[in-house]
Amino acid sequence: MAIAINIAVGQLVFTLKLPIYLDSIGTILVGALVGPWAGALTGALGNIIWGYTLNPTYLPFFYVAAVIGAMAGIAAKLGAFDRVSPRWLSALIGGFFFFGLTLFILSITAYSRDGLIPNASDLISQNALVFVVILIIGLAIGYFLLRKAGYAGLAGLITGVVAAIISAPMAAIYFGGVTGAGTDLLVAAFRASGAGILASTLAQGAVSDPFDKMVSFLIVWVIIQSLPARFKAR
């Protein structure tokens, strides 16, 4: 079931060319509920099955998916999905989430209108008031509504950084930085600024992966909170 969730959501995002992935929700869920080894196996098998059936691009990244599942299991053992986090941490996670979401939406909107990926700093400066308001809203939502999800969001950010580092060489060397996903737009933007293939791929991962994994970890946190206690105990 988790593998099916990964492939269904991931393929939809790939088709829509969004600059994120959302293909690890099932992997993270299994890792959180069953443990690191089960999470790693789910992630690896998911990418292998996906690669052989629908999208060969994802096959070489099976090891990245395995690491994501293992890190989800380790995070669960450390209490990321059940410990109550400090409110200041939840507020930061909420602020980062809504700030990143706004940046992605405005970037996609600008690309759809002009055909070019705008410089992030220019986009923020041109919409400074919007970002300030969104940041305040995100901090408030994190403080009041996500007060138990801070550790899950932090684990997602850390997992995203690791995923970006270990996937960049494969994307750069094997695919030349172009995988057919929506994240290629970010790679192209960094390449246009003068960066090399590896540097551009790593920069793209540093921008999209932490946000993507934070979203996925928070989704899994919501799912786990809604599961019956008897099911989680089993």
| Mean pLDDT taken over the chain | 87
- From the number of C-beta atoms within 10 Å of its C-beta (0-12, 13-18, 19+), residue 54 rates as middle
- From the number of C-beta atoms within 10 Å of its C-beta (0-12, 13-18, 19+), residue 222 rates as exposed
What percentage of the chain reaches a pLDDT higher than 90? 53
- For the cut 90, the answer to whether the pLDDT of residue 53 exceeds it is yes
Q: What burial letters (b/e) apply to 185-218, b meaning 16+ CB within 10 Å?
A: bbbbbbbeeebebebbbbbbbebbbbbbbbbbbb
CATH number for the region 2-85+148-233 comes to: 1.10.1760.20
The alpha-carbon radius of gyration of the chain (Å, integer) is: 18
Q: pLDDT tens for residues 63-72?
A: 999 999 999 9
pLDDT number for residue 212: 92
Q: What tokens appear for 18 in the block? A: 């969004």
pLDDT number for residue 114: 67
pLDDT number for residue 9: 95
